[in-house]
Structures are given as C-alpha cells and as structure tokens.
Homo-oligomer: A and B are copies of this chain.
C-alpha cells in the first residue's frame, strides 16, 4: 500500500499561530510576582577573583540579592547535552554555576536578582572585582605551548583529549601511494545566532519542587543537569519547553538553567527570569569550534585513495562543554565518505581562554568536510582528474560497514546525489561558462560531498518515547519527549503516527510543550536524531494503538479483530474492504460502553540500536571580484540522500536554512577576540555580520530517496546535513574561479583580496 501521509507537505500545525503571534515562547509566558536576574561577568579572560564588591549593587533600588560562588553548591557539572552514561565517562564535569576561577572573558562570577530587569542590569554593572590575572591563551597553539598555565588544573598542556581513529595502517597506505598530497586548512569561530536568546524562568511549584521553563533543546537532559549542578535529586526539577525560536545546538548545552533555578531557590521560590542579551549569547554561550587540520593523502596512479592522515587541533574555549566529541567525529566522517583503506585521524581538543565551543549544527562536520573536500579538489586539480569520476571511484560503497563501528551503511546514495545533482545544477554548462567574465569578475564552479550519521548510536545512548491517546472523536493526541525547536519535528512525527494509524495528519494533535513530568523520556533535539529515533517510537506506539483499535473493533462490531483495519479514519474490514464504522464511532464506544469501556492509549519507550547515514553533495557557482575580493554565490544546489522524505516542504525548509547558514559560514561570519585582553570584539549583530535575505542567493535542493530499512518509513536524519558541504563547495568554486587555493574560512573580501595578492590564501592559528 502506498503512503498517504508520508511524503506529503502537510502544513506544520504551529505555522498559523506563529504567524499570528499566538505562539508563546519562554519570555512570552506570563508569570506572577516575577523577579529578574542578571549575570555579572568577568572582565578578564584568565585569572581569579580575589574579591567582589557588591555594596553599590545592593544599594540600587529594587535589587534584592547578589549571588556569589559562595552561595551555591561547590559541585561541578557538565553543561553538554549528552545523553548521560552510567559510569559518567561521557562528560567533563568542570563547570560551577558561578566561579571565582575565570577562564574566559565574560565568565560568570556573580548574579543579581532584582524586581526589574533594569535594576538588575544597573546593579550588575556596579559590581567590581579584584582579580589575580594569569596569561591568556587565545589560540590552541598558545594554550598547548610548553609551560602554559593549566586553564583547568590537571589538564596537561591544556589538551582535553588527544585521540587517534585508525583504519588499516596509514604508513602502509602511503607506501602504496603513487602521489602524496599535504595541506593545512583552518576554520573560524562562528555562533549559532538563533532568533530567540537563551531565556529561562524558574519557580517553586505547588508541590515544593522546582519548575524551570526554558528555551532548551533538551528538557529531559536539562532536568538531569539541574540535579547534578544543584546537587539535588533529579526529580526535584520539572523542565518545561514551550515554543523555541531556534537552537542549532547552542541550546543543547545547559547554560543558564542551573543559575536561574538557584536564583529562585535563593528567593524562597519566587519566580525569577533570566534572559540573555544578544551580546551575551554571541560571546558567552557556545560557538562553533575553530579547527586546524593538517592533512596528508596518498593516491595511486589509477586514482584511488590509498591513505589519508589528518591531524586536527580543535579550539574549545574555557570549558569542555561537549568535550572532545566534536573534533573526534571527523574521523568517522572521513572514512564513511570515501573508501580509505588506511586512515589515521588524530584529533586534539584544546582549552583556550576564548568563548566556549560546543554543539553547533553539523557538529564538526562542516569543518572536516571543508578540509576533506579541499584536499579532494587539490588532488583532482593536481592530477588533472575529473572531480566527479574521482569521487565516484572513491566514494564508500552502499552496504559497506562503517569502518570504525561496523554498522553497515545500508543506504548510501551519495553517488546518485553527485550524478543527478550534476544534471540538475547544469554543472557542465556552468563549467563551460566559467572563467573571466569581463571587468574584474572571475567565475568558478565547485562541488563538495559529505557524509553524516543519524543520532549517536553506537557511541551513546539512543532512546525515545511516545504516548498516543485516542480521543472521543477519533482524533489522536501525541506526546513525545522529542523537542520541537522550530524545525517542524512535531509535524513530521504526527505524519508518522497518522500514516501508521490510517488517519489524516490533521487528526493527530501534537503537544505544545515538552514537560519532563509528562513527556515520555527522550534525550531531545540534536544529532539529526528525532525523526529517526523518536519517529520509530511514534511508529511503534501507533502500531500498538492501531492493534488496540482493531481489537476494540472486534469487540464492538461483528468483525474478527484480525480482519479489522483503519483506512481514512474508518474502521474497515480488510478482507471485504467494507467500511465498518468511523473511527470516531469506535472511539466513542471505547469511552462510553458501560460494560466494556476502556480508553485506548499506547506508550512506547524505544531503545534504538541502529544508525543510518545521510549523505549529500553541494554544487556552487560563484563570481569573484578580483578588485574587491567579494565573492557572490550565483547558484547553489544541495542534493541530499536523507532516505525517504516525510514532508517535502519542511525538508526543503530545513535544507534552505542550513544552506543559508553555510553560505554565511563560508563567506562572512567570524567571531573576534581582542588579542590583548581576550574580550569579544564583535558580539553584536551590527559587527557580527549575519546574511539578510538580500545577501542570500536562490537556494535549490533535491532529494534522492532510498528507503532506509531502519528509519521510520525509510527516513534518515536531515536536520544537520544541509550545512555540511556548502562551504567546501563554495571554497572549491572560488578556488576554481581564481586558479589557486584558499585554505581558511571565511572567504571574506579581505581574505580573498589578500589571497589574490599572494596567489594563495591561508589563515591564522586557531
């Protein structure tokens, strides 16, 4: 039977309410008797607070309290939204809610609670600190220097982790090579710039526990981290996620919730709201890791990769946050994109006195893809190989096992993405049309492929849950712990439920909030996991509910339950095809039959032991003005294999959003720190340049849709893939236009212009 709901562009259920301003985000939710918090931040990047003067702050009218580290539990917690491990090996517990030990400019050293936001803001500015200052390390290279002070005591050389992922024996691989290529690539620090800043409100609930309404991607994880950070039983907390204005990984760290709950505790349970300003979000929440790659690739005469060695140094800022996992992920990406018989992928994650890096859409993959596909481009150019043929010859084959974890990559249509995308993009015509275009403009085309994964299995726990309830009129209420953060996951999950149940998607009601007291356990929105992991939980719950519906049909109608089925919201006899009753009629009986009533619900907790691999390719055509260094993307196409697409319109939205972020990553965004003080220099949206819609070219996308056997209805992850390859493709197109390589992002006019002067572009230390 063909799908009726899956693959259709069901409008997202919350679209109209967002357009009409009816959707309440955290700061929109009215709270009585509320107080306001403000964080007091260090004005040095490395050192120790010797004393704090809070007198002037406390004298500000409306100020009720100033919290200092001494007022809070001394226990350290990990802020990363990882799923947790029973042996607690998964995270670095290095963060106090407030600290005397300053590790980055803006570190949280105190907090003000006041009756108005203005009073809190004014008071925070009046708090002065006396510091003992230490040398600051703004690059990983500086931090790793012999004799550098340990930013966290005990972290030798400030290296949080130093690991090497290996396939085969890279020395043997290079021995087999006819050609060896080496180069270095660098990426910059960028920030997520979600529309809604981090905001949370905490208060004591009527049951004496602590409720935190928060703009978080990970309510259930947030609850756990509150318990860890505040050293209280985890169920002391209830985290409620309302509508969210984006997260992109930044809200996969728990950055403000422990403090705002601590504030409410300090105020005897009175509600306190803590809402970061854009300046704070840009500089003091999380950023994307800047990574420096040194790559060496061996290629045989017949155009096959024989060995690939990478040495990656990743700058993680003042705290571990997601720790080493972002940098380390690159190894798995490299060896699943290409068939590499001998690989060595060393990665080091280094603490520095800069903004804390954490999860950001793509989780290290835009960086490694930039390095991989720049190397691929170099190889093809230097050996005069066709970039399509070279890639097709070296792509990892469909069905091959993941070299590092052994899970077969059952579906992998990267080759189709490349081939079909080439046609759709009109690559050959564009290639023919490239070169000097008159005046100072040169035109080029570039292509880049990427590999990704869905969720975190087998490296971490994958678990999701769903509860479905059949309403009296045959509609269905869906509760999931997955987190709608603007991406439309609720709509996709509702489609899965509807398809499974045999009803239209409009008959499934998603829940507006994710409430840890109510929502089935699910680790949340990250790793492009929700359709894939939660989707299976939803499908399983829907199967269970449908089975119960069919059994109820057997009870209430003259039909064996084994013959009952549901189609178009009618109970049908699947043998005769006849409609037996509307689902609403059956539902009513399950509620109100005096002798046999039993409301139908189904709840499933799904422990996922699968992984599947979304793949894709970006094609880009650019103009480079050699007099100004300005790069203009003329056209760009993302071709994705994310398995079966549940909702084409929402998928297109995801891809276009990711491409937009990626173009900006390629061409403009860069977060700077004052080299002397470590103070963020452009942490505002005037100086940190985000593209507007005027800056964004037409975005094109296409989907190759193999039916993945593990994902629900054949789907694989799509949230992060769109951002992985555009920067690399644009870089390749720019290099094609210019005829030489630029090996650092972003490709700002200044950098491009300087490169034109040198016939080569590099970048500064990360």
Contacts and interface: CB of A to CB of B under 8 A. Distances in A.
Contacts of A684: none
Contact of A31 (B30, B477, B589, B597): B30
Interface in A610-626: none
A191 to B, nearest CB: 28
Contact of A206 (B17, B465, B600): B17
A269 B22 contact: yes
A599 B463 contact: yes
A167 to B, nearest CB: 24
Given A86-B588, A206-B22, A518-B479, A472 B224 contact: yes
Interface in A503-524: 509-512, 517-518, 520-521
A511 B13 CA distance: 27
Given A14-B206, A520-B599, A592 B461 contact: yes
A24 interface: yes
A512 B599 contact: no
B475 A233 contact: yes
Contacts of A451: none
A235 B601 contact: no
Given A206-B14, A206-B23, A605 B594 contact: no
Interface in A568-619: 588-589, 591-601, 603, 605, 607, 609
Contacts of A24: 32, 206
A325 to B, nearest CB: 15
Given A28-B32, A30-B32, A597-B461, A86 B509 contact: no
Contacts of A475: 233, 235
Given A517-B509, A520-B599, A520-B601, A594 B85 contact: yes
A105 interface: no
B473 A234 contact: yes
B235 A592 contact: no
Contacts of A473: 227, 233-235
Contacts of A23: 206
A377 to B, nearest CB: 39
A83 B592 contact: yes
Contacts of A520: 599, 601
Copies of this polypeptide in the complex: 2
B588 A207 contact: no
Contact of A521 (B16, B206, B588, B591): B591
A460 interface: yes
A437 interface: no
Interface string A183-214: 00000000000000000000011111100000
Contact of A603 (B84, B510, B597, B603): B603
Contact of A511 (B460, B517, B605): B517
Nearest to A204: B22
Contacts of A510: 207
A208 B14 CA distance: 8
A418 B155 CA distance: 79
Contact of A509 (B85, B209, B472): B209
A594 B460 contact: yes
Contacts of A209: 509
A319 interface: no
A603 B600 CA distance: 10
A512 to B, nearest CB: 5
B32 A589 contact: no
A32 B227 CA distance: 32
A642 interface: no
A471 interface: yes
Given A269-B22, A607-B597, A235 B461 contact: no
Contacts of A22: 204, 206, 269
A512 B85 contact: no
A302 to B, nearest CB: 42
A234 B472 CA distance: 7
B592 A596 contact: no
A243 interface: yes
B86 A589 contact: yes
A613 to B, nearest CB: 20
A512 B205 contact: yes
B605 A601 contact: yes
A599 B205 contact: no
A517 B477 contact: yes
Interface string A158-197: 0000000000000000000000000000000000000000
Nearest to A593: B86
Interface string A444-482: 000000000000001011010101000111010101000
A222 to B, nearest CB: 13
A609 B206 CA distance: 35
A17 B204 CA distance: 10
A591 B463 contact: yes
A269 to B, nearest CB: 7
A85 B588 CA distance: 10
A206 B85 CA distance: 36
Nearest to A511: B517
A582 to B, nearest CB: 12
Given A83-B592, A463-B591, A601 B603 contact: yes
A233 B235 CA distance: 37
Given A24-B206, A30-B32, A477-B518, 4 more contacts: A14-B207, A463-B591, A467-B603, A600-B605
9 contacts: A13-B207, A206-B243, A234-B471, A235-B477, A461-B592, A461-B593, A511-B518, A598-B607, A600-B605
Top 3 closest pairs, chain A to chain B, by CB: A17-B206, A30-B30, A235-B471
Interface of A: 13-14, 16-18, 22-24, 28, 30-32, 83-86, 204-209, 224, 227, 233-235, 243, 269, 458, 460-461, 463, 465, 467, 471-473, 475, 477, 479, 509-512, 517-518, 520-521, 588-589, 591-601, 603, 605, 607, 609
